[in-house]
Amino acid sequence: MPSILLRGGTVLDGTGKPGRRADVRVTNDRVREIAAGLKAVPGERVIDAGGKVVAPGFIDTHSHADGGLLDTPDAETQIRQGITTAIVGQDGGSQMPLADYWRNVQAKRVALNLASFVGHGTLRRKVLGDDYKRAATAAEVAKMCALAEQEMRAGALGLSSGLEYDPGLYAETDEVIACARVAAKHRGLYISHVRDEENDALGAFREVIRIAEAARLPAQISHIKLGSSPVWGKAPEVLRMMADARRRGVDVTADVYPYTYWQSTITVIIPTRNWSDRAAWQRGLAEIGGPGSVLLSTYSPDPAWKGKTLAQLAKSTGKDAVTLIQEIVNKTQGPGATGRESVVVTAMNEKDLKTFLADRHVMISTDGGLRSTHPRGAGSYPRVLGRYVREQRVLSLPEAIRKMTSLPARRMGLAGRGTLAAGNRADIVVFDRATVRDTATTANPTAPPVGISHVLVNGVPVLDGGRMTGARPGQILLRRR
């Protein structure tokens, strides 16, 4: 493989140190040297990085790129925002057995590096089958642990959970602790979409800390948020709770995506599963700011509803918002329903988001998949760099890069990545700090960002002068033993 010289850029090495003018030489899949004034050697490809930032590739600690990756191996929406490693198997759902999935990925070849958690929900579903709406018995928990053991041996980074969703929702904390102990034995991480991201978010964060403490492993809160009006403004309190836990020796961190709206199923608007409870829906709607906050981003029973808010639909159909929700739920949930829905809900306040973004122990993630219907899938990293670094100065550029690179690399146990240093893998992104920004919106969620020109994965350009090269140099990253 010929070597590449990235010349004339400002190197931000991922550690949080300020940038310095330097050239970066890449040979094969590694960074060979970083120094000012490097001369091109014969046959070497020179990439002009003049006036641009050269940084380690971004490591997305909460990615859904495993959905459909074998059909979309170029992962364009991820690569174009500078992501070189996607951490999948999130929210309690993972490919199982991982060993088979890794074989398939290797046979197909993909553009970015991949690492995965083992999902608690997947374990639960395997052992309990359709009869999962209950606590598991001791024997069943033992079976789940045996499967977790198998997946940790296949290189999973740790255990993920999604306690707000089926089937994780029905798990008692002790069941999760038992599975997390298996991850702990292999020096893995516990990572969780917590049980409640709305009114009882603080209680849900406390459960993460309790699980980490009992199972004796580090933990990470996924896409941390305060998603309803009763908990708005509590970000400082949440960060204090996490800092207190760290002081007692419970190593807890979080990741966050830079949007004030989430995307999920409409059913998470109420904490109970009682769809007929009109008062609960009414309350749930009020707490997220009313029917104007809920936009249908997928709705297969009537595609004309897609892109409309519940407030708009109420106006056009003459039905009230709760009746509409119940119609949607009837067509998409429960026995015999075949429809699919998803909603984008603006339910967080930006002040909390900025407080989380600025905290040293919070890293950046997307929570996005390939061609997501939420703009986070295409815009998260450039949005942090444009909106929150350049425009609003919520955090400095070196600190933002650290939260996208070395912090997640260390947290996920990815050796030799996340910093630009001689000998490390050459996962590199080149961008223009003056122009980088997201363009994805809810109306056009896969619109590519601007200002990111080159992305190298393991030394191979996958984005070159703004064009996808079609190269698929991604590697599978297993937990370091």
Total of residues contacting Zn ion (CB under 5 A) = 2
Give 191 or 212: the residue with its C-beta nearer to Zn ion: 191
- Distance (Å, whole) CA 421 – CA 419: 6
- Residue among 146, 177, 164 nearest 203 (CA): 164
Give 193 or 195: the residue with its C-beta nearer to Zn ion: 193
Give 120 or 193: the residue with its C-beta nearer to Zn ion: 193
- Distance (Å, whole) CA 176 – CA 172: 7
Distance of CA 26 to the CA centre of its chain: 28
Give 25 or 193: the residue with its C-beta nearer to Zn ion: 193
- Distance (Å, whole) CA 144 – CA 146: 5
Q: How far is the CB of 255 from Zn ion (least distance, A)?
A: 10
Give me the amino acid identity at 158.
Answer: G
Query: Radius of gyration of the chain from Cα atoms?
Result: 22
Classify 249 in phi/psi space as left (phi over 0), alpha (psi -120 to 50) or beta.
left
Q: How far is the CB of 92 from Zn ion (least distance, A)?
A: 9
- Distance (Å, whole) CA 34 – CA 56: 13
Give 193 or 425: the residue with its C-beta nearer to Zn ion: 193
Give 60 or 91: the residue with its C-beta nearer to Zn ion: 91
Length of the chain: 481
Count helices and strands in the chain by DSSP H and E runs: 14, 23
Beta carbons of 278 and 285 less than 8 angstroms apart: no
Give 163 or 457: the residue with its C-beta nearer to Zn ion: 163
- Residue among 61, 78, 19 nearest 440 (CA): 78
Give 62 or 402: the residue with its C-beta nearer to Zn ion: 62
3-state helix, strand, coil in the chain (%, to 5): 35, 20, 45
- Distance (Å, whole) CA 183 – CA 109: 28
Token representation of residue 411: 């947290």
Strand ranges (E), 19-157 = 20-21, 23-27, 30-35, 45-48, 53-56, 58-60, 83-88, 113-116, 118-119
The residue sitting closest to Zn ion, measured at its beta carbon, is 193
Give 64 or 433: the residue with its C-beta nearer to Zn ion: 64
Q: Which of 25, 193, 225, 376 binds Zn ion (CB under 5 A)?
A: 193
- Distance (Å, whole) CA 394 – CA 355: 8
Give 91 or 352: the residue with its C-beta nearer to Zn ion: 91
| Site residues (CB under 5 A) for Zn ion, limited to 83-102 | 91
Give me the amino acid identity at 299.
Answer: Y
Beta carbons of 400 and 385 less than 8 angstroms apart: yes
Q: Is 7 in the site for Zn ion (CB under 5 A)?
A: no
- Residue among 453, 470, 420, 442 nearest 19 (CA): 420
Handedness of CA 111, 82, 225, 176 (dihedral sign): positive
- Residue among 168, 175, 170, 167 nearest 141 (CA): 175
> Which residues in this chain contact Zn ion in the complex, by CB under 5 A?
91, 193
